[in-house]
Amino acid sequence: MISGKMEQALNEQVKYELYSSYLYMSMAMYFHGLSLKGFANWMEVQAKEEQAHAEKFMHYINDAGGRVVLQAIDQPPADFKSPQQVFEETLKHERFVTGRINGLIALAREENDNAAYAMLQWFITEQVEEEATADEFVNQLKIIGDNGHGLLMLDREMISRVFVPPTAAAN
């Protein structure tokens, strides 16, 4: 059912989704080091979301008759200058992932793989949300600047985020 080219491209995307999880866990550990537990929590939830995205791709590959082959994951950065820089890097990374998803959409069209195309639509919508959220935090952190009170207020807000696995309908 799945072409070799699509299988290879989706396996590569699994690697990038797992790297995203690894990156956000590294960012969470940076925030733990600053005693910003809300920011750390937000990034830990983000890491879990990315893990779920990787699993969604893996299940699709298997369901489409392909074979999942896990690839090596690069080490993420561990040192950051500020919370604002972390979210600027997050936005940059999410834009990179959006570009990859758009490339997969183009490949699905080229391969006339309507099943992959349909599955990828969920990720298109997800990436709009991912970029918008990261951009919102970048802008809020720019407004906060060096105001410690503002940073602590945002930290308290971020502690309430919880991981909600994608529903069966989204898989």
Q: 129-144, pLDDT tens digit by residue? A: 999 999 999 999 999 9
Using CA atoms, how far apart are residues 159 and 55, in angstroms rounded to an integer? Answer: 25
Domain residue ranges of the chain, discontinuous segments joined by +: 4-70+79-159
**What phi and psi, each to the nearest 5 degrees, are found at residue 40?**
-60, -45
How far is residue 145 CA from its own chain's centroid? 25
Coil, strand or helix at 160 = coil
Structurally, at CATH architecture level, domain 4-70+79-159 sits in Up-down Bundle (1.20)
User: Would you call 74 exposed, middle or buried from its count of C-beta atoms within 10 A (0-12, 13-18, 19+)?
Assistant: exposed
Using CA atoms, how far apart are residues 83 and 60, in angstroms rounded to an integer? Answer: 35
C-alpha distance from residue 104 to each of 15, 20, 128, 132, 134 (Å): 14, 17, 16, 21, 22
For 1-60, write each residue's pLDDT tens digit: 899 999 999 999 999 999 999 999 999 999 999 999 999 999 999 999 999 999 999 999
Question: Taking the model in full, what pTM does it have?
Answer: 0.94
Q: What does the CA dihedral 155, 24, 13, 115 come to, rounded to 10 degrees?
A: -30
| Crossing angle of the two packed helices 148-158 and 37-63, in degrees rounded to 10 | 40
**Res 170 pLDDT > 90:** no
